[in-house]
Homo-oligomer: A and B are copies of this chain.
Amino acid sequence: MELWFTERQTPHQDFSLRVERTLHREKTPYQDLAVLETAQWGRMLVLDGYIQTTVEDEFVYHEMIAHVPLCTHPRPRAVAVIGGGDGGAIREVLKHPSVQRAVLVEIDGRVVEAARTYLPEISSGLADPRVEVRIEDGIAHLAQRRAEYDCILVDSTDPVGPAVGLFSAEFYASVYRALTEDGLFVAQTESPFFNRDLIQRVFASVSQIFPVARLYWATVPTYPGVFWTFTLGSKRHDPLAVVSEELDRRLTFPTRYYSAGIHRASFVLPPFVEELIQAGKAGAAPSRSNGGGAR
């Protein structure tokens, strides 16, 4: 018998992986959760039928969502990860010795438990004494915070279901208020091959709220569209202004995807992506005087 998992990445495209074993399956209060052992990418976390992370390629996404913002901030002490219940982003955050407090805010406690049980390489950081795991709504959590975090990483699922609110202008304004005076945040924002409107809209929102807005990208082979973007908003520090020597100095730990060179290269956008976000900013410009209330 052959067992295959199929993700319908778009209505017109499927991505399928041979499954050796179903390690875990449950309906949580929020979603359908599965941990599958795949032949190609090792153990894999799936939520509502969408691949969240695999043991073999997770280094790309988790290194890029964590080290780009944390190496941009001169001394990140308090960091929040919104979503990211698998613990991969937290694990990378903890590699920065300046970090004193890493808060994981995950709405679905069952994701954290499943990761602890079945994905120990990814979730290992959650046992660190600097980590605080809060099983609560990330939107509500940040709404109550003022100037608390140096970096906020929005490690969300796709913009459907529980994660929709994490892609709204109101949420980014709330992120702004929860950041310290020189804080910055990053959010995963999908692929320009499949999610043009989302990238355009999010970048325009972040540009209205934050003095520094940047888009960067990495190649994630198990995500739909694979050219994966991250949108960064910063109150002061510009990721493009950090000199290579500083980036090298900060990299006191080994990495597989991120490097000082990749930090810079990941902000170089192919023209088809650059045009997308510039058009979005131009389109959003007329409302600028009415937006950006948090600024």
Residues of A bordering B, CB below 8 Å: 4, 6, 10-18, 38-40, 57, 59-60, 191, 193, 219, 221, 225-227, 254-259, 261-262, 264-266, 268-272
Contact = CB atoms under 8 A, between A and B. Distances in A.
A275 to B, nearest CB: 8
A261 B268 contact: yes
A256 B268 contact: no
A40 B268 contact: no
A268 B265 contact: yes
Given A257-B270, A265-B268, A14 B10 contact: no
Contacts of A15: 13-16
Contact of A11 (B18, B227, B255, B259): B18
Nearest to A64: B270
Q: How many copies of the chain does the oligomer comprise?
A: 2
A100 to B, nearest CB: 28
A214 to B, nearest CB: 14
A266 to B, nearest CB: 8
Nearest to A225: B221
Contact of A13 (B17, B219, B264, B270): B17
Nearest to A258: B270
Contacts of A255: 271
Nearest to A263: B268
A57 B192 CA distance: 12
A6 B38 CA distance: 19
Given A256-B272, A257-B271, A193 B17 contact: no
A256 B14 CA distance: 26
B12 A13 contact: no
B264 A268 contact: yes
A253 to B, nearest CB: 12
Contacts of A10: 40
10 contacts: A6-B16, A11-B18, A14-B16, A15-B15, A15-B16, A219-B227, A221-B227, A258-B270, A259-B268, A259-B271
